[in-house]
Amino acid sequence: MSTATATESAAGQTGHDDEHHDHPSDAQYWKIGGLLAVLTLLEVGTYFITDDPYSHDLAPLLIGSLLALMVIKFIVIISFFMHLKFDNKIFRWVFVSGLVLAVGVYLAVLSTFAYFDQGYEAGLQLLQ
């Protein structure tokens, strides 16, 4: 096996060649930081419309926008700052697995509590 072949073989076996490539440049990092700042300003802007989105006439729009902005910021940070978009896919799977498990488990918990809410409220009142 020649040196070149050994190198290619190592790259093929390890999948290391897809790591550390195409990371954003400093200028791109500034742009991403600016984008995150603008998204945060938009989020905070909703507070100046109302501090109680649930009671506002535009409740679905306001709450939907806030949740959408939150998800966009989350994805931008983990993709570009944490390099999940560029790094080995195994890292993505590890993190997303934890995330999906967390969201799934706690949605189930929240749904359960919502379903048995009346009994829970009655129990709380008894305690108080």
Nearer to another protein, 58 or 94 (CB): 94
- For residue 22, the minimal CB distance to another protein (Å) is 13
- For residue 57, the minimal CB distance to another protein (Å) is 16
Nearer to another protein, 47 or 119 (CB): 47
Nearer to another protein, 40 or 58 (CB): 40
- For residue 119, the minimal CB distance to another protein (Å) is 13
Token pair, residue 52, equals 């109680």
If you ran DSSP here, which 8-state letter would residue 57 be given?
Answer: T
- The C-alpha atoms of residue 95 and residue 83 are separated, in whole angstroms, by 12
Q: What distances in angstroms separate CA 79 from CA 82, 94, 124, one per listed residue?
A: 6, 14, 43
Token pair, residue 87, equals 């790094």
Q: If you write DSSP's letter for every residue of 86-116 in order, what string do you get? A: TS-HHHHHHHHHHHHHHHHHHHHHHHHHHHT
- For residue 56, the minimal CB distance to another protein (Å) is 11
Residues engaged in binding another protein (CB under 8 A): 1-3, 6-7, 10-11, 13-16, 23, 26, 29-30, 32-33, 36-37, 40, 43-44, 46-47, 51-54, 63, 66-67, 69-70, 73-74, 77-78, 81-83, 88, 90-91, 94-95, 97-99, 101-103, 105-106, 109-110, 113, 121, 124, 128
User: Strands, E, within 1-128: which ranges?
Assistant: none
